[in-house]
Amino acid sequence: MKFVRGIDMIKKDFKSPDRLVTARFNTFFTRSTHRRYIKLRQACGHQSWTWWETQIIKNWSNDSWRFKAETAFESFKFNADKDKPLP
């Protein structure tokens, strides 16, 4: 899944901790994906990227969800002033 591979690259390239990556999910996801994310987050609390990766693949790994997630991810633009990859 392209979205998952993209997150894996961000984690590796910027040495981003799980908390930084998973904190961005609130802005990555929209509409029904965001609602599903919020329900999972409330039910399961803070989880590692590995846990979220499994949930994303399990819940959103079909053609329709994949297209929506990849489109949202590809439209995200990194802003060095606003998005600090390392503390």
In this prediction, residue 80 carries a pLDDT of: 67
* Long-range contacts, stretch 50-59, CB < 8 angstroms, 24+ apart: 50/18, 52/22, 52/25, 53/4, 53/7, 53/8, 56/1, 56/3, 56/4, 57/1, 57/4
- Interatomic CA distance for residues 75 and 78, integer angstroms: 10
Q: Confirm if 69 and 3 have CB atoms less than 8 A apart.
A: yes
- Interatomic CA distance for residues 64 and 31, integer angstroms: 14
Q: Return averaged pLDDT per consecutive 10 residues of the chain, 87 residues in all.
A: 86 90 87 88 94 87 72 74 66
In this prediction, residue 57 carries a pLDDT of: 85
- Interatomic CA distance for residues 11 and 52, integer angstroms: 14
CA distances from 75 to 29, 50, 68 (A): 12, 24, 11
